[in-house]
Chains A and B, each alone.
Chain A
Amino acid sequence: MAELLILKRKHFAEDTKPKEWSDLKWAGRPLRGDIIEIRPDGYFRVEALGEGKVGWDRNAFCLIRIPKVDPKDVEYLTKPYTDARITTAETVRYKRQYRIPQWDSLSWNKNNVTVGGKKFEEWYLDFTKFANVAGLITNKAG
């Protein structure tokens, strides 16, 4: 199983370009639904299920769990993207290349949990196979 952290917190510049930002930087800004991190089965603790080893920032992220996927096979989903190399200027850049743009319309399990004395709303979702998630993922670089 692979576990994917998906950005849930709205980025401060998601809707409006800060005046000091370049168009290039704004075009590559973080967006909700960006795929942030991928870990193996059982890595992130789902408090509602009593499973997992490590906490995750439930205010910032939601969690997708998919069985029968080697994290190494899907590690590329956390990549940044630039069309530049050492000797050429950037004309396209994404902090995260891959995103689930319809993240908020998925049928998340939402549980109110208390961890370390703090209350969180924990969003997680189990998929039966990666193909079901792959169809939701957009490659920003086209």
Chain B
Amino acid sequence: MADTTYYVDTDVSGGAGDGSSWANAYSSLNAAEAARNADITAVGIITFLCRGSTNADTTAVAIDGWTTDATHYVVVSVDSEDRHAGTWSDTKYRLATASDARTLYINENYTIVDGVQLSKNSYTNIGVIGVNAGTATVKSCILKVVGTERFLFTTSGGAGTVEVRNSILYASVRYGFYLNSSGTVNLNNVTVAGCPWHGVQRVAGTVNCNNVASIGNGDNSTYFCFSGTITKTNCASTDTTADGTNCETGIAHSTSTFVNVTAGSQDYHLVSGSGLIDQGSDLSGTFTTDIDGETRSGTWDIGADEYVAAGGASIPRSNPFSRPFSQSLGRGGF
């Protein structure tokens, strides 16, 4: 059996609705996941490739009820033309829910979520993304709260490794990350900002932060940018809690650091002179690009974005589907 791609298009009209092509795409990721739920250990990698520039995908999704293994797993990705460009866009594919379920719940090991915008506009105290799987990867994603949800990203699973990479999370009513799994969570080149309680809260398990920018979180009194026992390497904070190896503190949540921090218009790309530039460590053994797909070069920056000077060299984002999927998303790639 072979790896299989199923197509999801929130703007589709007509068609068979069985995901076999763009013309026959599912109209929601939720329906696609429910229809294709299976034991895929003798099948291959199942990719749900999403697009839609007009209509949001508004039904919450649970990746659950599958049987997977390390080489046969579920991937949720976004077609290159409808993938965000590092800032939230209502004209790109987005999973934007208003129900009291998690926008995306990952309960199957080895799931990969790549390039998705996710928002939640309902308070239920459970998060925009909830990961109950021991092992999963979330990369190049943007998570935000529109209403009063208190958590952006939560973990609750068992043994394994959850990685979040090249992603931006902002505007929770309380927490950014709330990490309560018994396994390992690795946050690599993540920007988490604008959360009034803890930016990164470790409750249980092992938490490693590399090149993480936790900016403008907490009140520097009861709540902080980082909280709990966390191994921090080349991280940055507004308060003094980025206290690990080669870390930066006193980084402002302002336009001296990012393009725009105004509520509703956030753009967490770096600006010239940002204190996050050239302060990161080289993680090229794991990945080589930033949230925009631009190649990280020289001394890496902290956070999801690698700063490229205006008029400077910028390498267009590659289409991950222009080469075998196993080389681009499942095992390496951005």
Report A's interface with B, CB cutoff 8 A: 5, 7, 9, 11-13, 18, 20-21, 25, 28-30, 34, 36-37, 44-45, 53-61, 75-76, 78-80, 84-87, 89-90, 95, 115-116, 118, 120
Contacts and interface: CB of A to CB of B under 8 A. Distances in A.
Interface string B96-108: 0001110001010
A37 B28 contact: yes
A60 B14 contact: no
B178 A115 contact: no
B40 to A, nearest CB: 10
A57 B14 contact: no
25 contacts: A12-B67, A25-B107, A28-B64, A30-B34, A30-B37, A30-B65, A37-B31, A37-B59, A53-B14, A55-B24, A55-B27, A57-B16, A57-B19, A57-B26, A58-B17, A59-B18, A60-B35, A78-B30, A80-B101, A86-B125, A86-B127, A86-B156, A86-B178, A95-B64, A120-B16
B64 A55 contact: no
B65 A86 contact: no
B13 interface: yes
Name the prevailing secondary structure of the B interface residues: loop
B64 A115 contact: no
Among A44, A55, A84, A85, chain B packs the most CB atoms within 10 A around the CB of A55
Contacts of B12: 54-55
A7 B125 contact: no
Size class of the contact patch on chain B: 35 or more
Given A86-B127, A86-B156, A115-B17, 4 more contacts: A28-B65, A54-B12, A55-B17, A78-B99
B180 A90 contact: no
Interface in B116-151: 125-127, 132, 151
Contact of B59 (A45, A78, A84, A87): A78
B224 to A, nearest CB: 18
